[in-house]
Amino acid sequence: MSNIDVLTYGFSLSSNQGNFGWSTISLLRVNGTHILIDTGPSSRRRLLLSTMKSHGLEPNDIDIVILTHLHWDHCQNTDLFSNSKILVHPKELDYAKSPKRGDWATVPLINEVLSKMSVNPVSDGDKVTDGVRIVDTPGHTSGHMSVSVESDKGNIIVSGDALSDGGSITRGLPQNVFYDKSQATDSIQKMVDTSKIFYPGHDRPFKIGSSSIEYIEGPTDVEIVNSIGNSDIVGVSYKVQRQLETNIEITQK
């Protein structure tokens, strides 16, 4: 069985000054193998390193890095893991070499980073290690993939942005779709049919109940602190929901 820990929690926050891009980074420990799922944005680099250290790990201790997709907020710290095996869907690799004009989420620099690393293309059904396998979940991007994890809690899906937050269940869509809405809805249905526990890309881990989505761990508030002195504004604190009342039925959008 796998042991799963969240190193950085994802949140869906944006402002009139831009998107925070705070995504979930998960750590799997399976029979002595350390697996990281996504590496997050560079703005959380220090947080990632400090939470890894609190788990007794340095970047060189990570054996495998799984990238759900190649958007900047999920892969900017990949360069830290130069000794790791990197797993990415081949469609993501192909697209990142020549993204569509105006696609602000896919940063071409990732190609230079990956060219210096041990990259293994993987796709639906591929086994990563015991109890961990790849699930194709296209829609948000053409080559988006999620990770199915067998744990003592049951089957868990680390869903990246294919199921970005708890609200994806009600909407039948992730927050953003860069590729295909129909495929995005099909991917959510595919995941919900096989699991009730999710570690989403921009929300805290949750389980699907009979009439609500219940968060199972993570902070109950987010504090944004002003780091510039001599200001009247000290900071802002946001409360986040403990559970989400929702219609579990997914409808085509």
Mean pLDDT of the chain: 88
Per-residue DSSP letters for 197-231? EEEETTS--EEE-SSEEEE-SS-SEEEEE--SSS-
Percent of the chain with pLDDT strictly greater than 90: 70
The whole-angstrom distance between residue 81's C-alpha and the CA centroid of its chain comes to 17
CATH 3.40.50.2000 given to domain 3-245 = no
With pLDDT > 70 as the criterion, what percentage of the chain qualifies? 85
Q: pLDDT for 2-29, tens place per residue? A: 899 999 999 876 656 556 678 999 999 9
Enumerate the β-bridge partners of residue 222: 238
Q: Of 53-57, 95-99, 128-132, 210-214, which gets the smallest average pLDDT?
A: 210-214
Torsion angle of C-alpha atoms 224, 241, 46, 200, degrees rounded to 10? -140
Selected residue with higher pLDDT from 60 and 20: 60
Segment 135-149 shows an average pLDDT of: 98
Q: What is the mean pLDDT of residues 45-51?
A: 97
pLDDT band at residue 221 using 50, 70 and 90 as cut-offs: confident
Q: Does residue 154 sit in helix, strand or coil?
A: strand
CA separation for the pair 25, 9 (Å, rounded): 7
* pTM for the whole structure: 0.89
Contacts of 20 (CB under 8 A, 6+ apart): 11, 13, 14, 43
As a whole number of angstroms, the distance between CA 95 and CA 67 comes to 14
**How is the chain split into domains, by residue range?**
3-245
- Higher pLDDT residue, 104 or 83? 83
- 170 pLDDT exceeds 70? yes
pLDDT for residue 242 is more than 60 = no
Q: And the tokens for 188?
A: 């959510």
Helix (H) or strand (E) holding 148: strand 145-151
